[in-house]
Chain A
Amino acid sequence: MATHAANSSIGDALPERIHCPTNVSLFLYNAAVWNAHRIHYDERYTIDVERHPAVVIDGPLQGDWLTQVVDEWLGDAGRMVEFEYSNRLAAMLDETLTAGGKVVSIEGDSVVLELFVRNEVGKVITPGRAVVALD
């Protein structure tokens, strides 16, 4: 796997990835994690009962996307030792979301990354952070 990590500098942007979840992808994700919460597939219930505007994209799925940003940037150059994210704003089905990040510090073999999932208007809805140890 190609890696961007080996020659990184502070401020470097990580490769971004665009995500457009569908009913099918949300179904498969929630089946894989055995989550039957109806806000992820039952539109009428989601709107009428839980008062969301549409089917909700899982917060942990967005967390997974952030790990993929790190993984695809890091390649075989090291391993992730810490990771965190916070779901600050809900995202709804049919939104196009972008996952990315940047290098914020490098100390020896330890690199700290700032991560984000942002929505179509550019608002960061899921910020995150990771620490990787380079080999």
Chain B
Amino acid sequence: MLSLITDEIRAWIGRSSDPVAFEVSRRDIVKYSLATQQRNEKYLRGDEAPPMFLFAADRPLQAIADLRPDGIWHDPLVPELPLKRVMAGGIKHRYFRAIVPGDMLSIQRSIVGIYEKQGSSGPLIFIEYNIDVTTEAGEPVMQETQVRINR
């Protein structure tokens, strides 16, 4: 079977985004905690961020006019792929310390893998990212591996 992943696409493995600075606010923690129906008071007060709080925090806040027709942001760290529909794939996290209001974090993504599989309704392309979250001083806060699926 002919692979959907060309040499040009494969060449994206190893590319990284510029680090994104992220300031953690109590209000953002509370918003996230209410939206995810947390029950732990420390999250609802915004004293500490829930473990999944940083999901998508590396995304720049793009203008509505700059979004794709499907509503997804234009990600500069995605090669042009023959499959356009996007699904979440999964995440692995390692936690080094709690995230609290006032933290100034640095978030950087790298592509560590691009591969394809046959799904029940057709081919799927997986892009695997490593996401390193540190303090401004370089102290590790969290490491994430995130999988994005195109179908």
B-binding residues in A (CB < 8 A): 1, 19, 25, 28-29, 31-39, 42, 45, 49-50, 58-61, 63-65, 67-68, 71-72, 79-87, 90
Tell whether, in the assembled complex, residue A84 and residue B35 are in contact, meaning their CB atoms are under 8 Å apart: no
A-binding residues in B (CB < 8 A): 28, 31-32, 34-41, 50-52, 55-56, 59, 61, 64, 67, 70-73, 85-95, 98, 147
Known contacts A28-B34, A36-B67, A71 near B87 by CB under 8 Å? no
Tell whether, in the assembled complex, residue A86 and residue B90 are in contact, meaning their CB atoms are under 8 Å apart: yes
For the complex, give the distance between the alpha carbons of A63 and B37 in Å: 13
Tell whether, in the assembled complex, residue A37 and residue B71 are in contact, meaning their CB atoms are under 8 Å apart: yes
Known contacts A25-B35, A83-B95, A58 near B88 by CB under 8 Å? yes
For the complex, give the distance between the alpha carbons of A61 and B50 in Å: 12
Q: Which of B40, B70, B90 contacts A1 (CB 8 A)?
A: B40
Given contacts A28-B34, A71-B50, 9 further A-B contacts (CB under 8 A): A25-B35, A33-B32, A34-B59, A50-B70, A63-B91, A67-B50, A67-B51, A72-B40, A90-B87
Known contacts A82-B94, A87-B87, A67 near B52 by CB under 8 Å? yes
Tell whether, in the assembled complex, residue B95 and residue A81 are in contact, meaning their CB atoms are under 8 Å apart: yes
Closest beta carbon of chain A to B43's beta carbon, Å:
8
